[in-house]
């Protein structure tokens, strides 16, 4: 699945992990940490937010049973649940869950931990949903400050650069957004093949931003390059 995703074969990766979940969904295998990892991976590929919440909830129940509800992995699975519920079904008291997460993670791991950055990320996305783009931008820079001092955080940095840039665009600042998209592309290119959807996304965002700045010739060249790789 990881190889297929790396090569830009996201649909094939989605089909593979869904098949693995179906084949392994029987006792005692479906109560193992390995099966929880399959559920978690499958959830990230699902378009249906409600179905994804169900997958992440099953993963959380398994990890909480093995390691306890306050364990790092169980807290992480709960954050997956919160994010997908916010994006879709709104069946849960996500504000209460997130507040509890923030206090527990801060006490256990500190405000410079990757776990706390995960909690902040959800708060940033909530600001965006409420169209509070200035607050979202400030929040994403807090996340960035944590990732910049964390080892092996290239993909996390790329995700954060993308969000900072997107907020700057919404605030009407394409010239400030462009360097963040360029940093995102540099990070993505270290980890993915040129045909990967994440890399192409970065290239398209750079082209779009150049258009907004008025650098039309370079924007056209960037669009052409992205389309050729797709």
Q: How far apart are CA 193 and CA 230, in angstroms?
A: 11
pLDDT in tens, the chain (230 residues): 888 887 878 899 999 999 999 999 999 999 999 999 999 999 999 999 999 999 999 999 999 999 999 899 999 999 999 999 988 888 999 889 999 999 999 988 999 999 999 999 999 998 998 899 999 999 999 999 999 999 889 889 999 999 999 999 999 999 999 999 999 999 999 989 898 888 999 999 999 999 999 999 999 999 998 888 87
Give the pLDDT confidence score for residue 178 in this predicted structure.
97
Q: How far apart are CA 206 and CA 84, in angstroms?
A: 27
Give the pLDDT confidence score for residue 230 in this predicted structure.
74
111, 105 contact by CB (below 8 A): no
Cα-trace Rg, the chain? 19
DSSP character for 47?
A: S
Question: Taking the C-alpha atoms of 10, 11, 13 and 15 in order, what is their torsion angle to the nearest 10 degrees?
Answer: 160
pTM metric for this prediction: 0.79
The closest of 87, 84, 88, 120 to 101, measured between CA atoms, is 120
Give the pLDDT confidence score for residue 220 in this predicted structure.
94
* 133 Cβ contact partners less than 8 Å away, ≥ 6 residues apart: 127, 167, 170, 171
Give the pLDDT confidence score for residue 195 in this predicted structure.
87
């Amino acid at each position: 699945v990881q190889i297929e995703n790396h090569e830009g074969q996201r649909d094939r990766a989605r089909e593979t992990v869904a098949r693995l979940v179906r084949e392994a969904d029987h006792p005692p295998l479906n109560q193992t940490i390995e099966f929880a990892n399959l559920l978690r991976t499958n959830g990230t590929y699902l378009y249906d937010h409600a179905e994804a919440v169900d997958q992440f909830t099953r993963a959380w129940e398994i990890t909480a049973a093995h390691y306890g509800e306050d364990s790092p992995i169980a807290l992480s699975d709960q954050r997956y649940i919160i994010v997908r519920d916010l994006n879709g079904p709104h069946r849960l008291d996500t504000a209460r869950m997130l507040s509890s997460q923030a206090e527990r993670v801060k006490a256990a791991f500190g405000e410079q931990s990757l776990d706390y950055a995960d909690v902040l990320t959800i708060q940033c996305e909530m600001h965006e949903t409420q169209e509070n783009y200035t607050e979202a931008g400030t929040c994403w820079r807090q996340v960035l400050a944590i990732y910049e001092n964390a080892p092996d955080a290239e993909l996390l940095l790329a995700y954060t650069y993308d969000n900072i840039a997107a907020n700057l665009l919404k605030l009407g600042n394409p010239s400030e957004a462009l360097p963040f998209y360029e940093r995102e592309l540099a990070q993505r290119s270290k980890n993915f093949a040129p045909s990967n959807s994440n890399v192409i996304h970065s290239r398209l965002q750079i082209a779009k931003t150049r258009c907004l700045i008025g650098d039309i010739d370079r924007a056209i060249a960037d669009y052409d390059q992205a389309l050729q790789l797709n």
